Structure 1
Amino acid sequence: MSGKMYPLESVYNCIPKEEKKIEKPPRYVSKFRPAVVLESKLTKDAMRMMGPAKLEMPSPDKYLKKHSKEAKLPEKPQPSKDAHRTCTEKKPAVPSRTDPPPMGIQTQRDLNKTTIFVPVKPKPTYVDTNKGHKELLENSGLVPKYLLKKGYGETPLYLQQRNEAERRAQEENDRLIREQREQGAMHYLSDEDRQAVLQGLKKKWDTLHREYQGLSLIIDTLSKKAHKKQLEEAMKQLEQDINLFERYKTIYIPNN
């Protein structure tokens, strides 16, 4: 029986209880283990050389000496004492003073004397620094080589065409201006016409002034303000025109 139904101090607690052994489940072993073991054995030899190579340590007797790594020239073979005696062909004897000289034999010295070499003409250069820096004189701009060029000093064809086009455009512009002047020619306004125009301007000014005087004293809307401003501008322009016609007696107007 469990201890929850009886108090802690009970006779039944003196009865020894059987120890229950906890059985662990079997360890998990993958079913792919044999394949993995076989694959690791097959690829094990590929990594056998991993790590530092095991080299043989140098002997203490073979230490590095001075000038041991410098490049050395090959040793020249020493000539033997009997080297001059190894010639198999015997040279001819020196001719005596009484022997006749050989005729018709040409030597290299005779060929050099007879050959005529044309001296190379040096290219003209100029020196521009105290260090002796040289440059070709042809590319310096000091040689007038373009003076000898064919067609030097003549106006190029494209410039002639451009000048001709500009001349035609100028003539066309002058013609249009002349026509406009002829169309807009001005004629003299007679004194009667001037007085008639002046009376018409004053009459129109009186009409606008009468309308301006009839405006209300309180102008509180936008339409009233715009109408008042329009009347003031029109009256001001009429006053300027009237002053112009009264000041000048001679007036010209265009034909159209």
Structure 2
Amino acid sequence: MSSFSIHVDSEFESIYNLVPKVQKKVERPPMYKSRHNPLAPIAFSTNKGGAPNLGKMKNHADPVNFLRKSTPSKRNPLKPIENKFNYPASKPLKAKVPSKDDRPVVGLFTEKNFVTANAIEAILAVPRIPDSAAPDYLRKEDFGKVPKYLGEVQKEISQENEMIDAFVRKQMEAYEDTPELCDAMPDEERVVLIEKLKTKWDAVNKKYQVLCMHTMFEGHQKAKKEHFEKEMNGIEEDLEKLTSNGPLMISRG
């Protein structure tokens, strides 16, 4: 089946207008009606007793003759004010303000030369001694002497050096008592061993530098980097022992 649609223009008649439309009846609610009487007088109206302005009522104060300041009442009777304040006799009062008829004394002059007088007073004045003079470090009792604490520090250092020397002598005596347990390493063998260690350190350092070119380290690369660092530190410790002064003793294994 083929479907089609009919377009109906609102300007023309339509068959739908022939169908009668059902009119719905709107039910309105009942009209509101107050339960109070609208014709009853308003309660508490101001238009009572011939006083429409202020609402004069019975048993109330008169709006015209109201209670004013300092007026006695039944609840608040007026009491006489007593001035109990008295000026103390020991404290003198201030001088009075001069009146408009008072005139200052004028015409007084002096022949004193204040410039010369001030100069003479400054010349004859005794210089004041400052209250807190600055300390003179050159006159101190311990000036130029070694402080006491430095002597104590030097004493502690000398004691530590004596303990170290005693320990070293004790160790050397133990090696001298058992010479058959240790042998001195020949210088030629020491030089060859130092060269080999330096060559090994250069090879490990080259691998370490290539690995450090990477900006991001993964798990295995980080472990390899730590292994190279540990190996180089061990070689440096061995080189430090081989290059130290004195004979290098090797135990007989």
Q: Same fold (TM over 0.5)?
A: no
* Max Rg structure: 1
The higher relative CO (CA closer than 8 Å, separation ≥ 6) is in 1
TM-score, normalized by length of structure 1?
A: 0.27
TM-score, normalized by length of structure 2?
A: 0.28
